[in-house]
Amino acid sequence: MLIKKGNKVKILCGKDKNKEGEIIEIDRKNFRAKVKGLNIIKKHVKTTKEKKGGIIEKENFLNMSNLSIIAEAKKESKKKEIKK
């Protein structure tokens, strides 16, 4: 199943494992996606004439293989999870 902007997804691994969110941006060339409110990083920005400098928090890209689409009706993830 194809992941699209606006889909509800569940993160399968990483620091935000088992958390749910909505896709806000997709990079199909690099097979990555941004999830709203998850995988937050801090970026240090230098002061310019237009913008004030400081530390900005923003979402970072996740690999799409680490995401699973959530079915709205059943609230289950579509991707099979491997149990070890």
Q: What is the pLDDT of residue 79?
A: 63
Answer whether residue 13 is part of any domain.
Answer: yes
Answer whether residue 17 is part of any domain.
Answer: yes
Answer whether residue 34 is part of any domain.
Answer: yes
Closest CA to 11 of 65, 60, 51, 58: 65
Counted domains in the chain:
1
Question: Residue 65 in 3-state DSSP?
Answer: helix
Answer whether residue 39 is part of any domain.
Answer: yes
- For 56, the domain range is 8-69
Answer whether residue 81 is part of any domain.
Answer: no
Answer whether residue 1 is part of any domain.
Answer: no
Q: CATH code at 22?
A: 2.30.30
For residue range 10-47, list pLDDT tens digits in order. 999 988 899 999 999 999 999 999 999 999 999 999 99
The confidence band for 3, taking pLDDT boundaries of 50, 70 and 90, is: confident
